[in-house]
Structure 1
Amino acid sequence: MILKKVIFVLFIAFCSANLFAQKDSTNIKGIKIKGKLKTTQGVYNPLSPSKAAFYSAIFPGMGQIYNKKYWKAPIVWGALAIPVYYYQINNSEYKRYRRAYKLRKNGLQDEFTLDDGSTTVSVETLETAQKQLKENRDMSLLSGIIIYVLQIVEASVNAHLLQFNTDDNLSFKPTLIMDPIKIETPTVGLNIKYSF
């Protein structure tokens, strides 16, 4: 008996859901439109984010230019130039200390050995400098790769977000309202209004 009641209630619920369902406004038969139909909203282009990401991968900053955010391209170029600059400096210094270390280990004179045979830099200092410069060089390379990937992601996300409706009618305006009934103990509430 309970099973019959449950089935009956579910049947009524499904029937009422279909009764109050929204009608499809695009399914209109017999109406012909002459001329071109103008819309105020932009057309969604699903390939736009992938194009922006592709352009940024080929040449950093080009995805930002594709998105018409021209001011972001010099920021990307500057952000990528910094790790490249420090990579080159650390790599040349690493090679310099590595060359001196190899020469000293083979008993030859290096750039840190004076004419009288004394050295200005010890072997331990050469080893420590090599380790530190190699670590700095690798960190510069890693930060350059991270910035490169982030600028690709930024171009793709920006291309996605450019296709959203940002009309002023679509807004979220929180306001604080005082309760006029409770004068002696004022309470503050939050009123959220949204409009489409």
Structure 2
Amino acid sequence: MVVLNKIYTRTGDKGTTALGNGDRVAKFDARVNAYGTSDELNATVGMARLYAADEMDAQLSAIQNDLFDLGADLCRPEMDKDAESEYPPLRMVESQVTRLEAEIDAMNATLEPLRSFILPGGSSLSAHLHLCRTVARRAERLSVELSRSEDVNPQVIMYLNRLSDWFFVAARIANDAGKADVLWVPGANR
């Protein structure tokens, strides 16, 4: 259980922060950028939930919880030492990815195939879900970049990749099952 009695600690006043294993790194460290962006993504999901109802709200709630799991995973480097750890770190697992895939398939089955690229927008929920999609892509890019130099759980990258797809399909659902999608018209303003 997490207990936060005091919010400010002054330990980051010189530009460093602690990872989940206690190591101190610069606040602009690649690992901090990756999990910080997953936190930003979580905040954008919270904004989208203001417009969501029922099943989609429940799915977004599960995604928010997953994103905290993902941040916890990213903040604990050295995956090879997990078994030795006194407090085993929380790691993303395959079932979190496959749940997203099942939800994508169920939503996509109700949509007509796309015949054009679509522009972010339409309903308020759709616009917010498109913002979530773009932040998810950035979190994915930063996690992939981090994985080129440090250990990153492959499930983190798979989850973020599926999640951006989830947001895309959900944004179409939020636009009256795609009927209110805003279509791109190539060269429309030439």
- Please tell me the TM-score bracket, short chain as reference: under 0.3
Q: Which structure would you say has the larger Rg?
A: 1
Q: TM-score, normalised by structure 1?
A: 0.26
With a CA cutoff of 8 Å and minimum separation of 6, indicate the structure with the bigger relative contact order. 2
Q: TM-score, normalised by structure 2?
A: 0.26
